[in-house]
């Protein structure tokens, strides 16, 4: 039986004074004496039998008390349930012309999208959004728990299929656009995964620190994957560091999977305990009351003062 938490109708418990008074009256009353011939016989009084009879007479009052207890609506605490805290992850992918450069068995874009799809499998239960950017920004998939749209995106948004005005790299514009998407979600953690291969001029002149402050103020971590030769731009490293994320650079195609595994490990989903809820607990007390009632009925056939 669970520990009692509360009652739906606690005022009913005040009526417990009735069975309590009945029990007190049963033990204290003297009753009317009936003289029988055996009363003049010699012998010691059996106080044990007398107490047993008193207990049998108290059983109806106990049944009444249990009935009142059930009417009060006993409740018990259910076990707190653990659930995975939601993380809103906006994946921001560079689709400038340089993403068609060879990388592994294919190009940078194909390798990045393949690694992203593997990352989605590791983060089951999170919400994902997909944003493509160059000189313009396109939110291809809104934040959702249904990731099927991600699987279909690579052929449509390959850089070779995009118009020329998409060809540049403006990371600052893309990060601010992703921030607007994430702040619309009030529930869960927030994260941006940036995949790019270039330098962005719109992060110079202190713009990187300004964007980092905006992201950090909204609780958004930024992780960057620089999928190109050369060093990761300092501005990107600074944004990642100031928001609590990190910037990575794969040395080879297989390194992408290891990087996304590292991002998954660094941004582990939180496990939250839901508040324990009170649930009705009638069955146990009804069974106890039924057992006492049957005992009281059985006592009527043998444990009573009168022999008839």
| Mean pLDDT across 65-83 | 74
**Nearby residues of 233 by Cβ (< 8 Å), 6 or more positions away:** 199, 200, 203, 226
User: In this predicted structure, what is the pLDDT of residue 5?
Assistant: 53
Domain map (residue ranges) of the chain: 4-79+276-300, 83-272
Category of 250 on φ-ψ map: left (φ > 0), alpha (ψ -120 to 50) or beta: beta
Q: Please, are residues 220 and 188 in contact by the beta-carbon 8 Å criterion? A: no
The C-alpha atoms of residue 98 and residue 114 are separated, in whole angstroms, by: 18
Position with higher pLDDT, 235 vs 187: 235
Q: For 62-85, b where at least 16 C-beta lie within 10 A, e where not — what string?
A: bbbbbbbbbebbbbbeeeeeeeee
Residue with tokens 């731009």: 233
Which pLDDT band holds residue 4 (cuts at 50, 70, 90)?
very low
Q: Which of 182-186, 282-286, 301-305 has the lowest mean pLDDT?
A: 301-305
User: In this predicted structure, what is the pLDDT of residue 2?
Assistant: 44
| Mean pLDDT across 59-65 | 84
Q: Which residues pair with 139 in a beta bridge?
A: 131
The C-alpha atoms of residue 293 and residue 291 are separated, in whole angstroms, by: 5
Q: Which residues pair with 7 in a beta bridge?
A: 74
Residue 227: exposure state from Cβ atoms within 10 A (0-12, 13-18, ≥19): buried
Residue 188 has pLDDT above 70, yes or no: yes
Q: Which of 9-23, 94-108, 274-288 has the lowest mean pLDDT?
A: 274-288
DSSP 20-79: HHHHHHHHH--------GGGGS-----HHHHHHHHHHHHHHHHHHHHHHHHHT-EEEEPP
User: In this predicted structure, what is the pLDDT of residue 307?
Assistant: 47
Share of the chain above pLDDT 90, in %: 28
Q: Which of 44-58, 109-123, 162-176, 240-254 has the lowest mean pLDDT?
A: 44-58
Position with higher pLDDT, 76 vs 261: 261
> 83-272 adopts what CATH topology?
Rossmann fold (3.40.50)
User: Does the pTM exceed 0.85?
Assistant: no
User: In this predicted structure, what is the pLDDT of residue 45?
Assistant: 57
Mean pLDDT rounded to a whole number for the chain: 81
User: In this predicted structure, what is the pLDDT of residue 1?
Assistant: 41
Which pLDDT band holds residue 9 (cuts at 50, 70, 90)?
confident
The C-alpha atoms of residue 255 and residue 229 are separated, in whole angstroms, by: 13
Most confident of 17-21, 35-39, 134-138: 134-138
The C-alpha atoms of residue 129 and residue 143 are separated, in whole angstroms, by: 4
Which pLDDT band holds residue 171 (cuts at 50, 70, 90)?
very high
103's enclosing H/E stretch is strand 102-103
């Amino acid at each position: 039986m669970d520990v009692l938490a509360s009652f739906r109708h606690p005022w009913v418990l005040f009526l417990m004074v009735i069975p309590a008074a009945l029990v007190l009256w049963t033990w204290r009353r003297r009753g009317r004496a009936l003289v029988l011939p055996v009363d003049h016989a010699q012998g010691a009084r059996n106080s044990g039998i007398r107490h047993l009879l008193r207990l049998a007479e108290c059983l109806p009052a106990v049944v009444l008390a249990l009935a009142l207890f059930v009417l009060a609506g006993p409740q018990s605490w259910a076990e707190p349930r653990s659930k995975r805290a939601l993380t809103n992850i906006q994946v921001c992918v560079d689709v400038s012309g340089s993403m068609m450069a060879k990388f592994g068995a294919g190009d940078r874009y194909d390798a990045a999208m393949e690694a992203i799809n593997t990352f989605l499998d590791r983060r089951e239960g999170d919400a994902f959004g997909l944003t493509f950017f160059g000189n313009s920004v396109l939110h291809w998939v809104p934040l959702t728990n249904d990731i099927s749209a991600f699987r279909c995106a690579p052929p449509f948004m390959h850089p070779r299929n995009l118009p020329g005005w998409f060809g540049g790299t403006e990371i600052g514009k893309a990060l601010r656009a992703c921030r607007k998407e994430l702040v619309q979600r009030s529930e869960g953690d927030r994260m941006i995964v940036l995949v790019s291969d270039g330098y962005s001029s719109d992060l110079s002149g202190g713009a990187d620190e300004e964007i980092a402050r905006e992201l950090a103020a909204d609780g958004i971590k930024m992780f960057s994957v620089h999928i190109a030769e050369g060093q990761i731009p300092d501005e990107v490293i600074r944004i990642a560091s100031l928001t609590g994320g990190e910037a990575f650079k794969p040395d080879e195609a297989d390194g992408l999977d290891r990087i996304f595994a590292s991002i998954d490990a660094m941004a582990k989903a939180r496990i939250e305990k839901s508040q324990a809820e009170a649930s009705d607990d009638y069955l146990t007390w009804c069974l106890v009351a039924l057992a006492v009632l049957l005992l009281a009925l059985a006592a009527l056939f043998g444990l009573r003062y009168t022999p008839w």
